[in-house]
A and B are shown apart, each in its own frame.
Chain A
Amino acid sequence: MSYALANNKSAGKSKDRSKEQAPESIQAPTNRAPVLSDSIMVSNNERMASRLSAFVKSKQTHGIAVGTLSLCAGILLWHLATLYNFNFFINFENIPSPLKVADAFIDHLAKPVFYTHIFVSIRRILIAYGMAVLLGVLIGLAVGRSRLARAAVLPYIEVVRPIPAVAWIPLAILMWPTEESSIIYITFLGALFPIILNTIHGVEQTPEVMIRAALSLGANKLQVFWHVVLPAALPSIATGLAIGMGVSWFSLLAGEIISGQYGIGYFTWDAYSLINYPDIVVGMLVIGGLGTLSTYLIKVITRPALRWKELQR
């Protein structure tokens, strides 16, 4: 039985695949009890093979393969461009090669201060993003549902939204008591607007007929909001949360120009002022990697709330 369990688990990723296999794996041990270990070996091998071929054939795998190849090709081109000092309009003469960057990265992995940089940045993101989610969703819901809130808040959103994070640096330093709070403020602003705008959009998309249905089932305004408007807006809010996470990393880098000590953005700027080119690229790639990872996490976290959407035909 434990064998069947393990097998199901390993097939777990795709639902229908595990369904297909369930009866087989239960039968196998009972049918060929005397040569149990043998039969497991055989069926496991067969299964591995069929799974492998299914894996290779699946569209998702195809996409991953192409993506990986494309990335490798990009790194190869970068390597060749630095190797032959490519210089035609774009100049690669002073650009560190991928190998040098990898060396620098591995060096940093051994230094505790590198982790401090990353930790400090992640903490800033968590605080700023958390506040942006809370405020952004609340403001978005209010603006989406109330004409008064819309008239009062929308002009601010329109005017403040196009201002880039870097432009906020002087004012942020003047306004906030500590460097830390200035950086968090700038990061917060970056995440705030995509979340507000997508929440508004989601609320506005709520089908009128569903609101009417809820009303005639006995819902009051608050219940309509809770049972209809909020869930209807969730897919759009989730999009806003993912975009907001990306933009917050973007703004964090601008904010960390202020900082004199830690943060992955500071690390990158510091490398620039020390003319340490490989470290600049290390910093850039770490930001890119963390941004991608955190956006992916947001998508994974919000997915259960959107399950009903995937089932629609």
Chain B
Amino acid sequence: MQKHHQDSKTRGHVCIDSVGVSFGQGSDRNIAVHETSLDIKPGEFVCMLGPSGCGKSTLLNCVAGYVKPTMGKVLLDDKAISGPGPDRGMVFQQYSLLPWKTVLENIAIGPRLAGHSAAECHSIARTFLAMIGLSKMEKRYPGELSGGMQQRVGIARALANYPSVLLMDEPFGALDAQTRLMMQESLLEIWSEFGTTVLFVTHDVDEAIFLADRILIMSASPGTVIADLKVDLERPRRSEMATAELFISLKRNCLKYIRAESMKAFEQRECEE
């Protein structure tokens, strides 16, 4: 793990180079992401914040390789991304663990696909299981776990491949408020250990401020980044910081952008109808 801490200083540079995504053709053409360029430094924790339907998940999916940009390209450490791969760990909002595999086997999938021996896979998986504090659950099936536990296993599974970037698509969106806070804290703990670059999509302003080094606010239509805010809160972050002056002024700032965007999106929908 020490080794990866070193790596993380140089690995995980994401470059989004004039990426645009549109779906459909002709009059049905729908622009999901307008020409966007971004540069994310190795080890940076970046939150993409915006109203639903603003294309933030689409942009994330371009980095993941699930969506091919209509124009432009995405580079990871100077290599163009052409499809999904184990160098980018993905954590989804819906529970995406394989319900027929035990918790341990789920975490071991990545190493196994990478060709490690069964013994190695299990030892890697046990390391991560201990890290997320679920060692006792290794023989359980995902269906027996709570939502929060399942998401923790999901994070461990993505990290077990030692990816350069961790891509998270509203991972805590389906959890209740208390669990969500706990998950945010343990995510930061894990991240401080790994220092992996994180690209985190959310529509929750508090979550974005609490987690990120940098917040990218996206507009609804056309989907593009309208603000790039630095979060100068000290680390380690603690839940009490939510009342700090800096936190509140950042929140006011974010909300201002988001409210304007939501209104615009709402009006557009009204007009179309």
Given known A-B contacts A212-B92, A231-B100, A308-B99, A217 and B143 have beta carbons under 8 A apart? no
Tell yes or no: A227 within 8 A of B by CB.
Answer: yes
Q: B88: which A residues are within 8 A, CB to CB?
A: 216
Q: Which of B107-115, B184-192, B205-213 contacts the other chain? A: B107-115
User: Which residue of A207, A216, A227, A234 contacts B85 across the interface (Cβ within 8 Å)?
Assistant: A216
Q: B140: which A residues are within 8 A, CB to CB?
A: 311
Besides A213-B92, A216-B158, A217-B86, 16 new A-B residue pairs in contact (Cβ under 8 A), listed by A number: A210-B98, A213-B90, A213-B96, A213-B98, A216-B84, A216-B88, A216-B90, A216-B167, A217-B109, A217-B157, A217-B161, A218-B161, A227-B98, A231-B98, A309-B143, A311-B140
Q: B158: which A residues are within 8 A, CB to CB?
A: 216-217
Q: B86: which A residues are within 8 A, CB to CB?
A: 216-218
Interface of B is mostly: loop
Min distance, Cβ A162 to any Cβ of chain B, angstroms: 34
Tell yes or no: B144 within 8 A of A by CB.
Answer: yes
Binary per-residue interface labels of chain B (62-87) against chain A in the complex, 1 for a CB within 8 Å, 0 otherwise: 00111000000000000000011110
Given known A-B contacts A217-B157, A218-B114, A209 and B94 have beta carbons under 8 A apart? yes
Min distance, Cβ A59 to any Cβ of chain B, angstroms: 22
30 A/B residue pairs, CB under 8 Å, sorted by A: A209-B92, A210-B96, A212-B92, A213-B92, A213-B96, A213-B98, A214-B109, A215-B66, A216-B84, A216-B85, A216-B89, A216-B158, A217-B86, A217-B113, A217-B157, A217-B161, A218-B85, A218-B110, A218-B113, A218-B114, A219-B113, A227-B98, A228-B98, A308-B100, A308-B141, A309-B99, A311-B140, A311-B144, A312-B141, A312-B144
B-side residues, CB < 8 A to A, are 64-66, 83-86, 88-90, 92, 94, 96-101, 109-110, 113-114, 140-141, 143-144, 157-158, 161, 167
Q: Do A216 and B65 touch across chains, with their CB atoms under 8 A apart?
A: yes
Tell yes or no: A57 within 8 A of B by CB.
Answer: no
Query: Complex: how many Å from CA A231 to CA B113?
Result: 17
Q: A308: which B residues are within 8 A, CB to CB?
A: 99-101, 141, 143
Q: Do A313 and B144 touch across chains, with their CB atoms under 8 A apart?
A: yes
Min distance, Cβ B4 to any Cβ of chain A, angstroms: 17
Query: Complex: how many Å from CA A223 to CA B115?
Result: 12
Min distance, Cβ B271 to any Cβ of chain A, angstroms: 32
Q: A214: which B residues are within 8 A, CB to CB?
A: 98, 109
